[in-house]
Structure 1
Amino acid sequence: MAKYRVKVFFMHETEEAAARAAEDEARLTEAEWTEGYVIGVIDSKDVNRLARDGLIVKPVEIIEPRSDSGPIGIQPTRVRGGGQAGAAPSLTRVRGLASTIAGKSADEKILSEDAHRPQFYIIRLNGPLTEKRRSELNDIQLIERLSSNRYTCHLKAEEVRVCAALPFVDSIQLYSEADTLRVVDADRGGRATSAERAFRGQGTVSEVPRFTLPHAVRVHRAEDLPRVERWLTDRGFKPVVTHTDALRVSLRQDSDDLIALARLPEVAVVEELQPPRLLDRNAREILGIERSSKPQHRYEGEGQIIGVADTGIDDSHPDFKGRVVGISTLGRPGDHSDPEGHGTHVAGCALGNGVESSGDVCGAAPKARLFFQSILDANGGLGGLPHNLKMLFAEAYEKGVRIHNNSWGAFAYARYSEMSLDVDRFVAAHPDMLIVIAAGNDGIAVPREPTAEMNARSGFVDWPSVAAPATAKNGLTVGASCNSRTSGGYAMLTWGEAWRENYPKRPVASQKVSGDPERIAAFSSRGPSDDQRIKPDIVAPGTDIASAKSRQAALYKFWGAYPNNPLYAFMGGTSMAAPYVAGCAALVRECFQKEGKWAEPSAALLKAALINGTRRITGACAVAPLEGEPNFHQGFGRIDMAASIPGPAAPGLSLAFVDSWKTPAQMFQRTGQSFHYEIAVGDRLPLRICLAWTDPPARGLQNNLILLADNTAGEKFVGNSNAATVLKIAGMKRNRDNNVQIVRIDKPKPGRHTIVVSADTLLEPPQSFALVVTGDLKSRSSPVSKL
């Protein structure tokens, strides 16, 4: 019978009593208790018994028995003289769940070490970082949570054995150049960088072209950056510092210098940087903002300032008259014109008022104001983007922008890049700034390289392909769905006719570019990110979108002319979907301010409200494997404003929310802590719950929360329990790390529902969060606010 280390969550006192009874009866062993759950070891045969007692069981790892010759598949490596050798793997993979060996000695846990000097290590725990475990680590500081229960840390030689003696430590190994260059995991459909291929002996000079490219270099600790900077300078390179813990430098691919840089112990990540590029391809009706040209919401973005960073703006266009609060020329000093037409079109999608089209061509937030940042350079590139995106976002923030649209990105095989980290850093420092990012237009239905295998079935778009910075945790990433338009632009073409080399096979080759809003645009980049977080978050219409046309842009820059009106034109891409979502965010923010009396909604609250109202679209391309909700194609679904905030479009809809970013008493301070809420609901509408939080900046989730709910009948609901990344094993459910979680109950039982938000694992407390609940709500408990 298989054994598992598990987390057993309890929502009520009776359930905690049932968990303690399981420990008393030795069904749950090695128990370690927190306020909201207990960690322990259990036989698979006992899982269903715990579930019958109302407990929610999440697997942490499989416990493998020892063989007669010692732990299975583990060969410890000792490193003498201060070198760093490649470490033997500490984990096996069993049906996607990490496995550990029971009863390992301290020596067996140490897979590699430096016996002479302090070094950086990867330490794996056999469960979460509880407060008890944190205290037992004493002065040993965990730097970053890499994934699951793996952390980086800096250890002296004597501390390695102190850590290995702790019962909750499963393995310790040196952080090596393999970890530094391993930005993409090929097993998940990505591609190794050229430097990594050379390091691993997977390519030769003749097979892999060598170029001098900019690289981002990040250190484990900010205090070590000057040493790395000096190392590069001494070798004739000119690094540019972009953060207190990061720099950029141009290096030749696969060069000895690049490999040597990766071998510096202080260096955490080295990645090639791809240049950012534009992401081109009756949206309001599809988005639920209006129906039959009659507004269904009383919100139009009044009082909101949307920031847009793009090619330029034709501010003489009538759609923006009197609503441009400022223009910054970052790419061409003193010149904000828009010869590409992209920026003007994007701005029109967000907030154009359609005044010269009798309202037919109207953006999502026609009364919002615009702060525009022109990033087009004199060479036609996006050279106006600063090396540190903080400078871009901070300029807009100081102008009053709290929703910022970015319809540009760099294809990077779904990597979490330096630009992604910039986004996460800024939002963590400015929790009330929502950064909206286009997912990318790199969806194709053919292999990217001649020998590559596809994750998708023949005739379907492959994954992953999401661009950067769309892989950021704290941004809102937007993919593109198809428009309902049946004429104009490319609407009458099939994907095979428009881009045969990308979509040569049926069914995608024979499907129209527009006309069926239940489909995902074939070009729309799919997720997940390289650590398997769900991306995109949401989708919005992105094919054959009519919007404002720049007078400086030639018609060939567009998908087609708008009939009988030269002030508008058609374009398509996630570039168009993203600003529509930014405009919808402005409506949501206006609603919280006016109806909720909440002057400063957090980015997490806006994100939760928009995602909570999404509708799952049903086209075969939108629900293709891996199946689940959310999934890698449409994320949590398509924006539906009628289900996001109360209004005439959804009679009887109520919304309750928690937004704790300014209330320390409602923030998590320790692992295992829980907040409980009770809401009485009726059965006239679906019950929807969404939890979102702004996570500390780093590649993986540093603080992990979990959403739980139940009703008076004892039915249990777990956030993202049907996600594409869920592993179902022995009756348990496990979701990959996401800082957005949903519970959707289409036919709720009338009566009281309990909602619990629990701190699964905290590396860097305190942690705020946003919780949104919609449905036929009858009452709520403090401190939940209600619209």
Structure 2
Amino acid sequence: MAGTTDPEGAVDPRYRIAVYFDGDREAERIEAILEERTHRYRGVVLAETSAERIGRLRAAGCIVDVRADLTAEHAARSEGTATDALPGSAGPQSMLPPRGAGAAGTTDRVAPDPEFVADLTERAVGAGEQHAADPETAAPLPAPSGEPRYNTYLVRIPGPLDRDRRAAFAEIGARIVEFQPAGTYRLRLTREQRDRVADLSWVIAVRPWDLADTVTYALGDALALDARRAAGPQLAGDEGAAVPDPYLDTFDVLVHDPLDLATLRPALDATPGVEVLAAVDVMLRFRTDLTGDRRRDLLAVVAAREETRRVAPYRPPLLYADHARRLVGVDRIGPRADGDAPTAPVPWTGAGEIVGVFDSGVDGTHPDLVDRIAAGESLVGGDTFDLCGHGTHVAGIIAGSGAASGGRITGVAPGARLAVFRVFDEDNRLHVGPSLGPLLARAVDAGAHIINLSWGNPLSGSYDQYSLAVDKFVAEHPDVLVIVAAGNSGVAPRGTHEFNTCGTPATAKNVLTVGACDTDRDNDGLAELTWDRFRQPQFPLPPAGGEHVCGDPDLPAAISSRGPSDYGSVVPHLLAPGTFVLSARSSSARMDPRLPWRENPDHDGRYVYIGGTSMAAPVVAGAAAVVRQYLREVHLLASPSAALMKAVLIAATRRLPSLRTPNSAQDLGYPDFDQGFGRLDLGIVLPTPDAPADRRLVWADLSDADPDALEAFADPEGTRRGSRAYRLTVPAGPHPDDLRVVLAWTDQPGSAVQNNLDLAVTTPDGTMLVGNQEHTYNKVPGFDRSAVLRLTGLPLDRANTVESVRIGNPPPGTYTIRVFAQNTPFPAQGYALCVAGPIDEAGLTTP
């Protein structure tokens, strides 16, 4: 039933909903309110109902998730527009202000230019026709002759993939590859299977994966720029003869399935002028000496082949702590004595932890690092000695002992040790294949559970092969936390910080992405330095240009890259000090002129200032080592998951003032794309000598294999469940600490959230708060957000694998925390739930 009509002809809308419950009594109460046909799974009741009954459920304190507007869906089918419902390549960023929208303009660009796509399509067709007519003079790598045999399709369905729908796909033989926003799934199908899927009554639309999905705006930009350069010195700053792009001979290809490499690689190997450099898993990198139209023809045919999922130009990744240590609260943490009398701080130092560092190497002879290296390997030939200076600086921030400065300039985790891997050569070029998984596994083999990557590709928020590879690595090593610098591509040409500048793999879901805030340094005249003086081309105008480079640790650094990712997630996750950080200097460093560095004359030149998210990331890596030691030694947690570590670190953040004008198009609530969840400060979560006596840190940490891991639409007769409830009590106050609840999980690889969980907290007075409730960006894709909020009051998050609820001055009483599985195409899904703040001794319990 699409809807009912009242006597005056108005249609009463109908909605497909999911209502979450904890026990049979609550489920019966939900079914009594609905008074119509329902289907009960473990933890969730599904129904089709009216707005009036949704309001009654809401008044009863139920968590209602509106899955589909059945009236609008019926209208679309009746008008024959359902096949247009599939999203194109525009992606979620289309809700951001467009590029050039006055002072609020952004760098929001996801879809390739339509003219570029049309040109490549014409070239691909022409290449096939030419090959059929005259193979010897045809363009290289001809497309398969005859009608294309598409085997990858985008299939849109209303709402999540429940057990019955998953079973229907399985019966047909359809294989689900990836979930994408707006209820769309990427499936591998034969033509016969495609027809059977299209005939399913609940399938809205089916279309083949096409060239517009495959090519990227980065590819279009690169080829357009190369064409302009070939035509002559027409660009601003060009002088003399045109200089071609030195990197536009190498391209990365993602395929849909590892088996696709078995057909695509031989075709490329047999193509004159093409050299396959690497092929692993679903990633292939090739180089070509073809130029001009021949190169465009080649790329057109590669993009049009059925194996290809994505084509982009290869760009070699770029290399992107006395004050930092204090600003992240490490100097304040330590145990209390009995009662209220504090003892002298005995901070945890990261002892027993190994941090993997993939960088330009390290000067192991530096006094601060001489005994900090647990393992070292050069993957670029030679030894691990750092000639650039970047890797030594990073290593000193993490684990420097302070020996060369009498303990004054000390790393965040001076008790930790390092597994150092040199992956940048003397020219600072990264030497790894298209997949990072085998590389990162070397750190695991050396005993590391924390990995720092202070480098990346500045690809404007793209989820590329590096992000995919890191997500896959963490999914396979769920106890390894990978920390990634967001990038130094922050710009404000119109005076307002632009969005979509994060690099990759910073856009991965399973990592902790770190942006930079200012330090509070005021020496050497640094506090007077503003960005319009320090980086004038990027920040020529106020207000961004007038922001200070140092002095205010609650100010995101202007150069720090901003989110969102191209699938709409919050990046960076948090900030740490990153401007003019003082740390170890390599004795033989030829300081890269591209690095924002400055000499420090003290301590015989043993230290140097460098700034950027490259410095902020190791601050967090050191803090992670401290947290992991604390969890192991104080709470006897032998192997905390990466999701739990991520949740604790995000709980330990201070919310910063927004840089955006209130109620403007760029005011996206909290968390936002400048600061993420805020600035790291361990002293607000871990014990400190002056902390309130009732401050506690409690958690649940479940792997995917745990019997309590969640599955959406779990069989009522099975062992899995679709939701789980926890309770805790806040004692009588007042409370200076917030109550902080953070849910995080390690997701399956893919360029959107695959297995989606949600967080809800009910306060003692019955008020319900949901995860990331204040974050307003693209909260309910596929529906009109305002209409859904009017119905449910719950702006549920579908774009992030971290959700947070913070309650200031929490009233005493019992709080109920629910974690529920909204959609799990790849069950089951584990998670980490972390709660910090004023909590009584009973901690976190299950009803």
Same fold (TM over 0.5): yes
* Separation of aligned partners in 2, 1:192 and 1:324: 41
Residues 18 and 285 (structure 1), Cα distance of their counterparts in 2 relative to 1, 3 Å cut = same
User: Offset at 1:287?
Assistant: 0.9
2: CA distance between counterparts of 1:514 and 1:265? 51
| Distance 1:121-1:59 versus aligned 2 partners, 3 A rule | same
Distance in 1, Cα, partners of 2:298 & 2:147: 26
2:349 is aligned with 1:300: yes
Q: Structure 2 vs 1, CA of residues 44 and 462 (structure 1 numbering), >3 Å: closer, same or farther?
A: farther
1:706 aligns with 2:744: no
**Aligned counterpart for 2:743 among listed residues 670, 677, 691:** 691
Q: Aligned partners of 2:76, 2:639: CA distance in 1, in Å? A: 62
User: For the residues of structure 1 that align with 2:92 and 2:377, how far apart are their CA atoms?
Assistant: 51
Q: Which residue of 1 aligns with 2:271?
A: 235
Q: 1:649 and 1:262, CA in 2 relative to 1: closer, same or farther beyond 3 A?
A: farther
Query: Are 2:76 and 2:82, in contact at CA under 8 Å, matched by a contact in 1?
Result: no
Q: CA deviation at 1:505?
A: 0.9
Q: CA deviation at 1:473?
A: 0.8
User: Is contact 1:193–1:272 with CA below 8 Å preserved after alignment?
Assistant: no
Would the alpha carbon gap of residues 506 and 554 (structure 1) be closer, same or farther in structure 2, given more than 3 Å must change? same
Are 1:125 and 2:157 an aligned pair? Answer: yes
Residue 166 (structure 1) shift: 2.5
Equivalent residue number for residue 420 of structure 1? 467
In structure 1, the gaps of 5 or more residues are: 78-86, 98-113, 185-190, 447-457
- CA 155–69 in structure 1, closer or farther in 2 if over 3 Å, else same: closer
The answer to whether the aligner puts 1:16 opposite 2:22 as a matched pair is no
Q: 1:468 to 1:225 in 2, by over 3 A?
A: same
Corresponding residue of 2:220: 193
Does the 8 Å contact 2:685/2:837 carry over to 1?
no
**Could you tell me which residue of structure 2 aligns to residue 84 of structure 1?**
none
Given the alignment, which residue of 739, 751, 754 partners 2:816? 754
- Please give the alpha-carbon distance, in whole angstroms, between the structure 1 residues aligned to 2:517 and 2:697: 27
Q: Note the C-alpha offset of 1:9.
A: 3.1
Q: How well do the aligned residues superpose, as a CA RMSD in angstroms?
A: 3.4
Q: 2:303 maps to what in 1?
A: 262
Residue pair 1:519, 1:622 contacting (<8 A) in 2 also: no
Match of 1:35 among 28, 33, 42: 42
The aligned amino acid for 2:214 is T
State how far apart, in whole Å, the 2-side matches of 1:323 and 1:582 are.
Answer: 15
Is contact 2:758-2:797 (8 Å) kept?
no
Secondary structure, in 3 states, of the residue corresponding to 1:509? helix
Could you say which residue in structure 2 is the equivalent of 1:357? 405
Deviation readout 1:655-678 (Å, 9 max, x if unpaired): 111122286213234545112222
Corresponding residue number in structure 2 for 1:717? 769
Question: Is residue 345 from structure 1 mapped to residue 426 from structure 2 by the alignment?
Answer: no
SS of aligned partner of 1:657: strand
CA apart distance, 1:274 = 1.4
Map Cα deviations across residues 47-94 of structure 1 (whole Å, 9 max, x no partner): 4433211122334344426669942645689xxxxxxxxx99699999
Letter in 1 for 2:765: A
- Does the 8 Å contact 2:578/2:612 carry over to 1? yes
Q: Which amino acid aligns with 1:429?
A: E
Distance 2:455 2:296 in 1: 30
Residues 180-199 of structure 1: CA deviation (Å, up to 9, x unaligned): 12x45xxxxxx67348989x
Contact map agreement 2:712 2:822 (CA 8 A) in 1:
no
- Alignment partners' CA distance in 1, 2:207 and 2:231: 31
Give the equivalent residue in structure 1 for 2:668. Answer: 627
**What amino acid is the match of 1:239?**
V
Q: Deviations over 1:510-540 (max 9, x none)?
A: 2210111111000000011000011111110
For 1:175, the equivalent position in structure 2 comes to 209
Aligned to 2:697: 655
Code of the residue aligned with 2:372 in structure 1: it is: R
Equivalence for 1:559: 597
- The residue that corresponds to 2:423 in the other structure is 375
Displacement of 1:36 in angstroms is 2.8
What is the CA deviation profile of residues 152-197 of structure 1, one whole-angstrom value per residue up to 9, with x for unaligned ones?
112233333322332332111111111112x45xxxxxx6734898
Choose which of 473, 476, 487 in structure 1 pairs with 2:523. 487
> SS of the residue aligned with 2:428?
coil
1:248 alignment counterpart: 285
- Mean Cα displacement is larger for which, 264-273 or 567-576? 264-273
1:144 aligns to what? 178
The residue type equivalent to 1:193 in the other structure is G
> Which segments of 5 or more consecutive residues in structure 2 lack a partner in the other structure?
1-11, 97-145, 236-243, 335-342, 715-721
Structure 2 vs 1, CA of residues 670 and 93 (structure 1 numbering), >3 Å: closer, same or farther? closer
Q: Which residue of 1 aligns with 2:453?
A: 406
Q: Residues 33 and 257 of structure 1: is their aligned pair in 2 closer, same or farther, counting only changes over 3 Å? A: farther
Residue of structure 1 aligned with 2:481, choices 434, 441, 449: 434
Structure with greater proportional strand content: 1
1-structure distance, mates of 2:704, 2:204:
38
- The whole-number CA distance in structure 2 between the counterparts of 1:504 and 1:463 is 17
**CA shift for structure 1 position 244:** 2.5
Q: What is the one-letter code of the residue matched to 2:43?
A: G
Counterpart in 2 of 1:328?
377
- The answer as to whether partners of 2:88 and 2:213 remain within 8 angstroms in 1 is no
CA contact (8 A) 2:180 2:751 kept: yes
Of 380, 385, 395, 2:432 maps to 385
Which stretch shifts more, 627-636 or 570-579? 627-636
Whole-angstrom distance in 1 between the partners of 2:556 and 2:661: 6
d(CA) in 2 for partners of 1:130 and 1:580? 42
C-alpha deviation, 1:694, in angstroms: 1.0
Give the corresponding residue for 1:314. 363
| Match 1:216 to one of 252, 262, 271 | 252
Q: What is the number of equivalent residue pairs in this alignment? A: 732
* Shift in CA distance, 594/663, structure 1 to aligned 2, threshold 3 Å: farther
Contact 1:532-1:736 at 8 Å conserved across structures: no
Residue equivalent to 2:129: none
Q: Please tell me the residue identity of whatever aligns with 1:330.
A: L
- Contact residue 632 and residue 724 of structure 1 kept, 8 A: no
Give the structure 2 partner of residue 58 of structure 1. Answer: 65
Q: Note if contact 1:126-1:149 (Cα within 8 Å) is conserved in structure 2.
A: yes
CA gap of 1:460–1:360, structure 2 versus 1, over 3 A, is farther
- Greater gyration radius: 2
**Which of residues 632, 638, 653 is equivalent to 1:593?**
632
1:544 corresponds to 2:584: no
Contact map agreement 1:708 1:756 (CA 8 A) in 2 = yes
Please, which of 312, 315, 318 is the counterpart of residue 277 of structure 1?
Answer: 318
CA contact (8 A) 1:709 1:754 kept: yes
The whole-number CA distance in structure 1 between the counterparts of 2:84 and 2:657 is 50
In structure 1, C-alpha distance between the alignment counterparts of 2:230 and 2:760, rounded to whole Å = 51
Query: Secondary structure, in 3 states, of the residue corresponding to 1:290?
Result: coil
- The one-letter code of the counterpart of 2:281 is T
What is the distance in 1 between the residues matched to 2:629 and 2:91? 50
- For 1:405, what is the secondary structure of its paired residue? strand
Out of 700-709 and 434-443, give the one that drifted further. Answer: 700-709
Partner SS, residue 729 of structure 1: helix
Letter in 2 for 1:610: L
Cα deviations by residue, 1:406-436 (Å, 9 ceiling, x for unpaired): 1111111110011111111111111111111
Asked if 2 retains the 8 angstrom alpha-carbon contact of 1:118 and 1:154, the reply is no
Q: Check whether the contact 2:705–2:828 (CA below 8 A) recurs between aligned residues.
A: no
**Secondary structure of 1:356's match?**
helix
Match of 1:578 in 2: 617
Cα separation, partners in 2 of 1:71 and 1:474, compared to 1, 3 Å: same
AA matched with 2:165: R
Offset at residue 291 of structure 1 (A): 4.9
